[in-house]
Structure 1
Amino acid sequence: MSYRDIEFENDSVFLVTGGAGFIGSNLCEAILNMGYKVRCLDDLSIGKQENVDLFIENKNYEFIKGDIRDYDTCLKASDGVDYILHQAAWGSVPRSVEMPLKYNDINIKGTLNIFEAARQNNIKKVVYASSSSVYGDEETLPKKEGKEGYPLSPYALTKQVDEKYAKIYADLYNLDTYGLRYFNVFGRRQDPDGAYAAVIPKFIKLLLNNESPTINGDGKQSRDFTYIENVVEANLKALKADSKYAGEAFNIAYGGREYLNDIYDILAELLDKEDIRPIYGPDRVGDIKHSNADISKAKGVLGYDPDWDFDKGIKEAIDWYVKNL
């Protein structure tokens, strides 16, 4: 079943935290297209106003500029809301190594504020963004829920803590929480700029500008790249999950495995930039070498059935960047 066929109660209101960000704005768009009301909470520290400007004229859309680190803001933003899709966080492993205090403040305190506000406002379900980084130094492939290792970065630790708080809120307070462990999401509106930009949009922009991207390490590291449409599907299907699974976390990926060197070659070919060769730099501190997801739990429990593989997704992504950069 496509997420477009999912039905919620009439007049349902959804709060999307981090709604002006890459994943958040795609969630806002999908929910609005389904005819429901969306309240977007974002402090625009990472999210961009331009990502949500296209919703301004929609009568079902409301934007609140606010910081999840402020509990009163979270309480007010979630008042009168039925469901919360909590995407607000700071990503990037290397940046977290440089700024551990900020990551603790935003990713842990901010998430705890959302959970507590959800409890006080009797929110029906909270789906929150976790990360494949929670697997840490556990080298077994594919990654499977229940076999987590020791975190390799402050970012990974914040996501592990978020999951533990989610379980506590489910067990102690009967708050329906569901964690989605995203595996290298890519697609439209993902920011290509900055030192901590994700690899795919960064590579695309540099190649379009006839510049050589830098691959950290030898390029033989692998990732389970996941197109944004699959992530939207997972979030909306998690909102329909049976409450007996509250407090649990799920791998959200396609279930494939792509190597960075191959990714580069594919992008160069599709963009007709095969004459541009990459530069190889040092490994990034805190990065895992390989990542590949076992998605059987999400399939069985959530009905998650991703149909956007890497080849299909990368063509859509390139088309968007060519039109919008």
Structure 2
Amino acid sequence: MVTEKRTVLLVGGAGYVGSVITGHLLRKGWHVRCLDQLIYKNESCAWPYLSVPQYEFMQGDIRDPRFANKALKGVDDVVILAGLVGDPITSKYPDESHAINRNGVASFIDAMQHHPVDRLIFVSTCSNYGLVEVDTAVDENYPLAPLSLYAKHKVEMEQKILGLKGKAGFHPTVLRFATAFGLSSRMRFDLTVNEFVRELHLGKELLVFDPNTWRPYCHVRDFARAIEEVLRAPTSKVAFEVFNVGCEENNFTKLMVVEEIMRHIPRSKVTYQERGADPRNYRVNFDKIRRVLNFTPEISVQQGISEILAALSQGLFDHVEEQRHFFGNYEIFLPTALIPDLKRAG
């Protein structure tokens, strides 16, 4: 069993999920080094932790070997969350996605082999399953069929990592995250549950495409717990293993999400339309992570809806429209000097 007094490098640790993981690990006694390029102008997510002695923040580009080697110096474990996250943002910025999500992550993994790192957790996505025709919840062995550039790069990195068996000095684990929801200091309102709750809370008419398509959901705080469980687990249980992260109870169709929100806001206006731009449809089986790590998420979609509504009703997110770039992955801000390097990196 791994003890807490270790230093964990969170690559992308100031993002929507990363900032929640940061707080969780600090509270549990870990030392946390956060490496983040702040491409969403999300620097405020590091502010709450700057006075914590066990926290260190580094702003840097994972594609730059100088930053990679500096960030890796003296750390025990690495969690890679960084990149352009989600289908829309990678479609909008395909060159940048290729340079960061694929080449940048790959070069960072290569740099790890020159440091005495013990564990690597690579955060992947259940989007890798794509469009599942069978009426069953798919497990980690189900064939991957990524539809988006985002998922295709995740699959490539999974293959690279798992192909290091017998070659790497560190012990990697791939976690395929369900779709995230819940409150975070870098709140995102471009994710299904969060978006639907806010739109209906504001009294807007919500247009829902393909309402009967399935997705698995998981609260950001449960993702943090899952990261902790993998860091604590014996390497014999997690090295070169792939785990879906979530629970069957949080497999929901979009229609089911809307119906749960309408229990709180019964007069909501919702329009449904088939054949949207995103055809993904998948229910996911989470037996493996429950069996091997005894991990089960604690927060239901229903509870997540309630907490978001409570925050909205107290006016905590009244400035979303004035800072849309912060509250969703709509636009990225890269240092001008690095932009010409993107196409060369591809």
Kept after mapping to 1: 8 A contact 2:226/2:245? yes
Instruction: Evaluate the alpha carbon distance shift between residue 32 and residue 53 of structure 1 in structure 2; reply closer, same or farther with a 3 A threshold.
Output: same
Q: How does 1:137-286 map to 2 (within 5 A)?
A: 137-140=131-134, 141-189=136-184, 191-193=187-189, 197-217=190-210, 219-244=211-236, 245-256=238-249, 257-270=251-264, 272=265, 274-280=266-272, 283-286=275-278
Kept after mapping to 1: 8 A contact 2:175/2:243? yes
RMSD between aligned residues:
2.2
**Structure 1 runs not aligned, ≥5 long:** 1-5
Letter in 1 for 2:254: L
Identify which range, 201-210 or 53-62, moves more after superposition: 201-210
The separation in 2 between residues aligned to 1:44 and 1:321, in whole angstroms, is 25
| Structure 1 residue 47, shift from structure 2 partner | 6.3
Q: How does 1:95-174 map to 2 (within 5 A)?
A: 95-140=89-134, 141-174=136-169
Q: TM-score, normalized by length of structure 2?
A: 0.83
Kept after mapping to 1: 8 A contact 2:113/2:170? yes
Q: 1:308: which partner in 2?
A: 299
1:288 to 280, 285, 288: 280
The separation in 2 between residues aligned to 1:286 and 1:277, in whole angstroms, is 22
The separation in 1 between residues aligned to 2:157 and 2:147, in whole angstroms, is 16
> What is the aligned-residue identity percentage?
23
Kept after mapping to 2: 8 A contact 1:203/1:213? yes
| Structure 1 residue 286, shift from structure 2 partner | 4.5
Instruction: Evaluate the alpha carbon distance shift between residue 19 and residue 320 of structure 1 in structure 2; reply closer, same or farther with a 3 A threshold.
Output: farther
Instruction: Evaluate the alpha carbon distance shift between residue 283 and residue 129 of structure 1 in structure 2; reply closer, same or farther with a 3 A threshold.
Output: farther
Instruction: Evaluate the alpha carbon distance shift between residue 242 and residue 34 of structure 1 in structure 2; reply closer, same or farther with a 3 A threshold.
Output: closer
Letter in 1 for 2:268: I
Kept after mapping to 2: 8 A contact 1:41/1:66? yes
Q: 1:90-123, CA deviations, whole angstroms, 9 ceiling, x for partnerless residues?
A: 1222333343332222111222133223221111
Q: 2:31: which partner in 1?
A: 37
Task: Tell me the SS of whatever aligns to 1:204.
Answer: helix
Instruction: Evaluate the alpha carbon distance shift between residue 239 and residue 183 of structure 1 in structure 2; reply closer, same or farther with a 3 A threshold.
Output: same
| Structure 1 residue 139, shift from structure 2 partner | 3.1
The separation in 2 between residues aligned to 1:37 and 1:182, in whole angstroms, is 24
**Structure 2 runs not aligned, ≥5 long:** 318-346
Task: Tell me the SS of whatever aligns to 1:173.
Answer: coil
The separation in 2 between residues aligned to 1:72 and 1:170, in whole angstroms, is 26
Task: Tell me the SS of whatever aligns to 1:74.
Answer: helix
Corresponding pairs, count: 312
Letter in 1 for 2:3: F
Flag the structure with more relative contact order, 1 or 2, with Cα contacts below 8 A and sequence separation at least 6: 2
Task: Tell me the SS of whatever aligns to 2:263.
Answer: helix
Kept after mapping to 2: 8 A contact 1:19/1:88? yes
